Each structure stands twice: as structure tokens, then as C-alpha cells.
Copies of this chain bind each other. A is one copy, B any other.
């Protein structure tokens, strides 16, 4: 392989276009035009369109996962093998949130691509995401060490909710901004991470929930009108 020029030009162009316009709207012809390479180059270098997308996503996922594990290990080392639960949750959601939010990141193609991958779920990306469970298990294990004796179920729910808040904030940041009329500062990533971590740790403390009164009966539907939406 003399030079990676074509290959990396395709990767860069594809990531930029996918980030900006989404997977559904970008064709291979768009990508090769942006990269100034021949149409056949994609299949030559990557095999297929799906493998190109997969390579993009895997690369970025590995980066995020590595950052997460680095933070986790640092926290565990600092705590003599057992990290504080706050730091574990911070290691879980911090890298993703830092990567996808913040004013300076607005121009980051990688971040915008990952947001897009989070919003539009296409088959090659879904296949990869399904393998993410092994990675999350490492965090579940760390949480178990940090909160020994706690029911595993609670751990999983806490981890799940932490990811929920982080990902939903990335996915729906525009809506939150509009809903709050700009009052929610989505550029202050530090504060957002703190907020998510705080709530996540809180969620982990509700061990045995009191049974609540039964949910109210579902009310009858009337005729649907457009105004209801």
C-alpha cells in the first residue's frame, strides 16, 4: 500500500457528509465527489457502503470506549482499586458528553458524526452497537465494587439511566434548547456532566422503592384532531 490518500479522503469526506446531512441523504456518489476520488474506490477500499459506515463508527466508538476506560482506571487507581461511584458514572458519561456537546465542539466532525449515528440508527451501526454490552459490563463490575451488597438490578438500572440522560441530551439538545427558550445552557458541558452524574448517583440510592399507588385508569379516547398534537 503506497499511500492511504484515497482511503482516508473517503473516510474524511464520508464522515463530514454523514455528520451534516445524515445517512439517508448521502450517497456514495456524494462522498466520492467530496473526496475527489473515483466512485469505484469505495468498493475497492472498503468492500461496500455498509462496511465504510461500520469502519467510521467503529473507529469513533473505540476512541470513546478507550477514553471511558482510561477515566475509569484512573479513578480506580486513585481510590486504591475501588473508585467512588460518582467517578465511575463520570467516566461513563463524561467522554461521550464532552465529545458531542460544547461550543468548541460545534465544528468537530467526529462529534457531529456520532450524534448523527445516535439519531439515525442504520443497520451497520446497529450491529456494532449490539456488541457494546461487553464494554458496559466493565462499568457494571466497577459499580458493584463501589457499592457492594447492592442488588445488581439497581446497578443496571442506574447505569441504564445514566446513559439515558447522556444520550438523550445529545440526541435532543435542540429540542431542550427550544423548550427552555435558551435557558438551559448546553455549552456548559462540565455542568451538564455534573448534573447527569448527580442524578445517576441519586438513582442508585433508591434501592428498595416503596410500592406506589396503582396507576390511574387509562381514560377513554375521544375523536382525534390535529390540534391534539
Which residues of A are at the interface with B, using a C-beta cutoff of 8 A?
24, 58-59, 61-63, 65-67, 70-71, 74-75, 90, 94-95, 98, 119-123, 128-133, 135-137, 140, 152-153, 156-157, 159-161, 163-165, 167-169, 172, 175-176, 178-180, 183-185, 190-191, 193-195, 197-199, 202-203, 205-212, 214-226, 228-229
Contacts and interface: CB of A to CB of B under 8 A. Distances in A.
A167 to B, nearest CB: 6
Contacts of A175: 129-130, 132-133
Given A164-B165, A195-B206, A224-B63, A215 B94 contact: yes
| Copies of the chain in the assembly | 2
B123 A65 contact: no
A199 B206 contact: yes
A199 B210 contact: no
B160 A169 contact: yes
Contact of A218 (B67, B215, B223): B67
A103 to B, nearest CB: 16
